[in-house]
């Protein structure tokens, strides 16, 4: 029996990045839905109830932290694991993300396909 494909929502303001994530995870049996920006991302999360959210931090209008706070404030979304995918590579951002905000993982761009895949599988196995 085939196991159900895990649903991932990728919230990102760059379409190339969404396509890259779809390519990497799609090949590995994940169903990836892209959302351009925070507002669209929150709508997609409510609509699809994904198993995981990949979240960019630096986006116009609504940044990733705002999206994350809205997710955590919502009963429907608070238990969905979040991996932050960002170009903000300073260790303080990582500490803030992992230990203060309690995101499930933190990947800095540019990342390798295996790094993304390992992170996604590790986080999904924990939840």
Is residue 90 one of the residues assigned to a domain? yes
The number of beta carbons lying within 10 Å of the beta carbon of residue 67 is 25
pLDDT for 97 beyond 80 = no
pLDDT for 2 beyond 60 = no
Domain coverage including residue 67: 6-126
Per the listing, tokens 């303001």 go with 13
Is residue 89 one of the residues assigned to a domain? yes
> How many domains does the chain contain in total?
1
pLDDT at 36 (0 to 100) = 97
Is residue 1 one of the residues assigned to a domain? no
**Cβ pair 51, 8 in contact under 8 A:** yes
**Cβ pair 31, 7 in contact under 8 A:** yes
Is residue 18 one of the residues assigned to a domain? yes
- Of 17, 22, 64, residue with least CA distance to 41: 64
* Tens digit of each residue's pLDDT (9 = 90 or more) over 52-83: 999 998 898 899 989 999 999 999 999 999 99
Question: What are phi and psi for residue 45, nearest 5 degrees?
Answer: -65, -45
Is residue 44 one of the residues assigned to a domain? yes
Is residue 36 one of the residues assigned to a domain? yes
* CATH number for 49: 3.40.50.2300
**Cβ pair 11, 37 in contact under 8 A:** yes
């Amino acid at each position: 029996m085939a196991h159900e494909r895990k649903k991932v929502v990728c919230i990102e303001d760059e379409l190339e990045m969404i396509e890259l994530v779809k390519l990497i995870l799609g090949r590995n049996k994940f169903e990836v839905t892209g959302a351009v920006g925070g507002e669209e991302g929150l709508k997609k999360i409510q609509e699809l109830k994904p198993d995981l959210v990949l979240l960019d931090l630096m986006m116009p209008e609504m940044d990733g932290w705002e999206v994350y706070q809205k997710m955590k404030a919502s009963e429907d979304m608070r238990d969905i694991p979040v991996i932050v995918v960002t170009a903000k590579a300073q260790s303080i951002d990582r500490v803030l993300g992992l230990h203060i905000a309690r995101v499930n993982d933190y990947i800095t761009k540019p990342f390798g396909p295996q790094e993304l895949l390992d992170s996604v599988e590790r986080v999904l196995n924990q939840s």
